[in-house]
Amino acid sequence: MARHSLLVGFGGFLPDRVVTNVELASQLDTSDEWIRARTGIACRHVAGPHDTATSMGAEAASRALSYAGLSASDIDVILVATATPDQAFPATAVRIQAEIGMISGFGYDISSACSGFVFALATADSLIRSHQANRVLVIGSEVYSRILDWSDRGTCVLFGDGAGAVILEASESDDHRGILSTHLHSDGRLRDLLYVDGAVGQPEKSGKLRMSGRDVFRHAVEKLSSSVDEVLSSCGLTRDHIDWLVPHQANIRIIEAVAKKLALPADRVVITVDRHANTSAASIPLALDEAVRDGRIRQGELVLMEALGGGLTWGTALARL
Nearer to ligand UT7, 34 or 106 (CB): 34
Q: State the number of CA atoms in the 13 A half-sphere of 82 facing the CB.
A: 38
Nearer to ligand UT7, 81 or 114 (CB): 114
Nearer to ligand UT7, 30 or 181 (CB): 30
Nearer to ligand UT7, 35 or 94 (CB): 35
Q: 3-state class of 170 per DSSP? A: strand
Residues that bind ligand UT7 (CB under 6 A): 30, 34-35, 38-39, 114, 153-154, 157-158, 213-214, 216-217, 220, 250-251, 254, 278, 308-309
Q: How many helices (H) and strands (E) does the chain have?
A: 10, 13
- Cα–Cα distance list, 167 to 6, 80, 111, 226 (Å): 8, 12, 19, 28
Least CB distance to ligand UT7 at residue 78 (A):
24
Specify which residues 10 forms β-bridges with: 166
Least CB distance to ligand UT7 at residue 119 (A):
14
Q: Where are the alpha helices (DSSP H) in the chain?
A: 21-25, 32-39, 53-68, 92-99, 116-129, 153-156, 213-234, 252-261, 273-276, 283-293
Nearer to ligand UT7, 9 or 309 (CB): 309
Least CB distance to ligand UT7 at residue 273 (A):
10
Least CB distance to ligand UT7 at residue 96 (A):
23
> Which amino acids are annotated catalytic?
114, 248, 278
Q: Are 283 and 248 in contact (CB under 8 A)?
A: yes
Least CB distance to ligand UT7 at residue 176 (A):
32
Q: Are 155 and 209 in contact (CB under 8 A)?
A: yes
Q: Are 143 and 51 in contact (CB under 8 A)?
A: yes
CA-based nearest residue to 103, from 133, 131, 78, 68: 78
Residue nearest to ligand UT7 (CB): 213
